[in-house]
Structure 1
Amino acid sequence: MHHFLIIPDTQYMAKNHPDIFLNMTKTIIQYCKDHPIDAVIQLGDIVDGGGQANNEFDTAKECFQLLDNAGIPLIFAAGNHDYDQVIGIGLTHPNPEVDGRNLSVYNHYFGYDRLKEKDWYISSYEKNQVENSYYKIGEMIILVLEFGPRDSVLDWAHQVLTNYPNKKCILITHSYMYYDGKRTSSHSEHNPIHSPETKDGNDGEMIWQKFISKQSNIVAVFSGHHVPKNISYRVDKTDKGNVVLQSFQNWQEEKYGGAGRMRLVQYDSKSNSLILSVFNPLTKEFEHGKDYDLNIKLGGGEQVLID
């Protein structure tokens, strides 16, 4: 059994509620003392103001450092608000096609220097940059892809999974699925390919068609980014016949920037099933609502909602 905590967009906590942010990480540490957690995974938009918001990065670093100090594996995706120049909110970028994908500040705070001594970090697509990277957690691969991953990144990711045919994989990327349960496509708002900086990338539907549907060992995809609703999911069979859970979660527009709400994910390799729930670290309670509690049996694709 593998156990993960999935944290979506923390940007408004980093900007406006550092005390709530700190409470989240302290609560995670306390939770881990009594429950097995293999890794904490953040889905991107760590901060709101991009590379200009060093104070927000400082806040996030201070809070997440507690998990590093406690020896809890901590994995980040990069969101559009984490780039040196925030992507996709109408800002004018001087050279969007040349340096619009720059993540120098993100990589300074949460990049290779932080990971290079971790035995669970394996490798990255580009040297000293971790927005495209993969990790071995227990008997699973955690694969992280950039915001609107490029074709070359998807080719690299395919090779990664080809090298680990007997390892199940969880895929993380910031934007993949909308809150209505549809993968992002040309008609979706806040789609990476609508921004000049990432128009060379792929949206959710393209990622599915070009990459995920061709794999036999991806069991789940987790993403955030979209607003204003909080949660959705879907399950689909790949061309290989295996079932993949795709889960969207994001509470950033709720009170206190979401208060640090997170997905608890349990994967049982013996039964090939996933159990998902939602925990609020501010109230120290599990929350229940539509699609909050799921038991997904990947072998047959059955779905059981636990009310």
Structure 2
Amino acid sequence: AESKENVRINNQDKPLAGFEPRLPALPLVIGGDRRTGSSIYFKGAIRSVAEFADVRTPLEIKQDMYDLNTGDEDLLFYYCFKNNTEDDAIEDLAGNYPLYHEPNPYFVSEEDRWVDEKELDNSRIAWSMAFLGDTQVVNDLYPEKLHLLYDWILEKKDYYKIKYVMGLGDITNRDLPREWELAREQYERLSGVIPWGVVKGNHDSSKRFNETFGYDAYRATCDGVYEEERIENSYRFLEVGGNKYIIFTLEYGPRDEVMEWAGKLIDAHPECKAIITTHCYLFRDGTTLDQEDVCPPATTGGHNNGDHMWDKFVRKHKNIWFVLNGHDPFDLVVTSQERGDTGNLVTQMLIDPQGTDANMQGACLICIVGFSEDGKKAWVRYYSADKQKYYMKTNQYEIDLE
């Protein structure tokens, strides 16, 4: 690749990026990888890429930059982008493509990228919840498509036995009145049909969030709020098949006192499994988002990061069942599980399609989390209402909840 001479990299003892276990499921690209929203990529112009089987000397590297010998026996591959157009197929000028490019079992083919419903076994789903990760890109850039999310949820409410719909924040992208008006218009289509709730994200101002959704009819769906005149922190009870749940919406990077309030309510209702929704908690690598990760709440308008929430709140309450969030853009629905202080299993999920929406001009992705009748299993389904197919085989999976 093109480079500059006399450039020093500081902190060479530190890795530039951690490896994500599910990253091999995405096709790699030159200069970075297929992660949406990733800042870890080369931001300059790449003229060519070559790989050698031997260690190159500084003199050889300099010579290769200007006059690479394609007959070099140590050359594995060589791609040159100098004169190509966007639609050109790039050939390996070393002529080794068949040798060094065997079919990659981790490469996501078009066949694996889009999944038909008939390929999925949904027969064991007794009930489900639908989650809308950050809708900001669709709402702002492709507003004519926003209705597709709610069209599909309403169409599939009986098929998936959807008992609740929850937005995970960043309802808007630029906090514009038109974005708020459209969001309320679409959510209200669910009113009286499927219970629903919304979380405030860091792109959503408290003022407009409360003005838009703080009306009497929406407040009536809450069983309680932390602050009388605000709806950022609320809870609702839900009963399905004889099982009881308490569902929380918590503010972006919740304050200590908010988590204390939620914790007391959870402890006061041991008969309920607690489902926590908030905008930021889990990071794309499956760990709780901390200060070293992208856009931590503690320094971007919130108070506690994901790791703080785990230590101060989530791990301490034995009936916390699920924690779900958006905020960190990723093509995959990320699930991780941790044991709380009493040994209870907490399932944590990141659902944020904003980067996918940007790359696909509004994919309109909906995440269904379906549950077995005995509550021991869950199934994830990730559907594009725009493409009318499920997005990636790796996003359709089963979770053991015991």
Q: TM-score, normalised by structure 1?
A: 0.83
- Superposition map of 1:140-179 within 5 A: 140-179=245-284
Instruction: Please give the alpha-carbon distance, in whole angstroms, between the structure 1 residues aligned to 2:262 and 2:362.
Output: 31
Aligned to 1:296: 399
- Superposition map of 1:217-228 within 5 A: 217-228=319-330
Q: Which of 211, 226, 251 lines up with 1:108 in the alignment?
A: 211
- 1:175-207 deviation line (CA, Å, top 9, x unaligned): 111111121112112001122x32xx1110110
Instruction: Quote the sequence identity (%).
Output: 27
Aligned to 2:201: 79
Aligned to 2:229: 128
Distance 1:60 1:229, change over 3 A: same
Instruction: Please give the alpha-carbon distance, in whole angstroms, between the structure 2 residues aligned to 1:19 and 1:127.
Output: 35
The letter for the 1-side match of 2:307 is: E
The letter for the 1-side match of 2:325 is: S
Give unmatched runs, 5+ long, in structure 1. 84-102, 300-307
Conservation of the 8 A alpha-carbon contact between 2:145 and 2:362: no
Deviates more, 1:103-112 or 1:253-262: 253-262
| Pair 1:27-2:158 in alignment | no
Aligned to 2:172: 47
- 1:114-166 deviation line (CA, Å, top 9, x unaligned): 32333xx2001001211111111222111111100000001001011012111
Instruction: Please give the alpha-carbon distance, in whole angstroms, between the structure 2 residues aligned to 1:135 and 1:258.
Output: 31
Q: Secondary structure at the match of 2:131?
A: strand
Distance 1:79 1:227, change over 3 A: same
Instruction: Please give the alpha-carbon distance, in whole angstroms, between the structure 1 residues aligned to 2:322 and 2:361.
Output: 25
Choose between structure 1 and 2 for higher RCO, CA contacts under 8 A separated by at least 6 residues: 1
The letter for the 1-side match of 2:211 is: H
Conservation of the 8 A alpha-carbon contact between 1:112 and 1:129: no
Conservation of the 8 A alpha-carbon contact between 2:365 and 2:384: yes
Q: CA deviation at 1:34?
A: 3.6
Q: CA deviation at 1:71?
A: 2.1
Conservation of the 8 A alpha-carbon contact between 1:271 and 1:297: no
Aligned to 1:65: 188
Conservation of the 8 A alpha-carbon contact between 1:232 and 1:249: yes
The letter for the 2-side match of 1:128 is: E
Distance 1:294 1:218, change over 3 A: farther
Q: CA deviation at 1:257?
A: 5.8
Aligned to 1:211: 313
Distance 1:222 1:257, change over 3 A: farther
Instruction: Please give the alpha-carbon distance, in whole angstroms, between the structure 2 residues aligned to 1:123 and 1:158.
Output: 14
Alpha-carbon RMSD: 1.7
Q: TM-score, normalised by structure 2?
A: 0.64
Distance 1:134 1:37, change over 3 A: same
The letter for the 2-side match of 1:76 is: V
The letter for the 2-side match of 1:167 is: C
Distance 1:250 1:180, change over 3 A: same
Q: CA deviation at 1:214?
A: 0.5
Greater fraction helix:
1
Instruction: Please give the alpha-carbon distance, in whole angstroms, between the structure 1 residues aligned to 2:227 and 2:171.
Output: 21
The letter for the 2-side match of 1:36 is: K
The letter for the 1-side match of 2:400 is: K
Conservation of the 8 A alpha-carbon contact between 2:362 and 2:386: no
- 1:94-116 deviation line (CA, Å, top 9, x unaligned): xxxxxxxxx12111111252323
Give unmatched runs, 5+ long, in structure 2. 1-125
| Pair 1:285-2:399 in alignment | no
Instruction: Please give the alpha-carbon distance, in whole angstroms, between the structure 1 residues aligned to 2:376 and 2:276.
Output: 16
Conservation of the 8 A alpha-carbon contact between 1:179 and 1:229: no
The count of corresponding residues between Structure 1 and Structure 2 is: 271
Instruction: Please give the alpha-carbon distance, in whole angstroms, between the structure 2 residues aligned to 1:169 and 1:2.
Output: 16
Greater fraction strand:
1
Instruction: Please give the alpha-carbon distance, in whole angstroms, between the structure 2 residues aligned to 1:32 and 1:62.
Output: 19
Instruction: Please give the alpha-carbon distance, in whole angstroms, between the structure 2 residues aligned to 1:205 and 1:269.
Output: 32
Q: CA deviation at 1:229?
A: 4.5
The letter for the 2-side match of 1:259 is: A
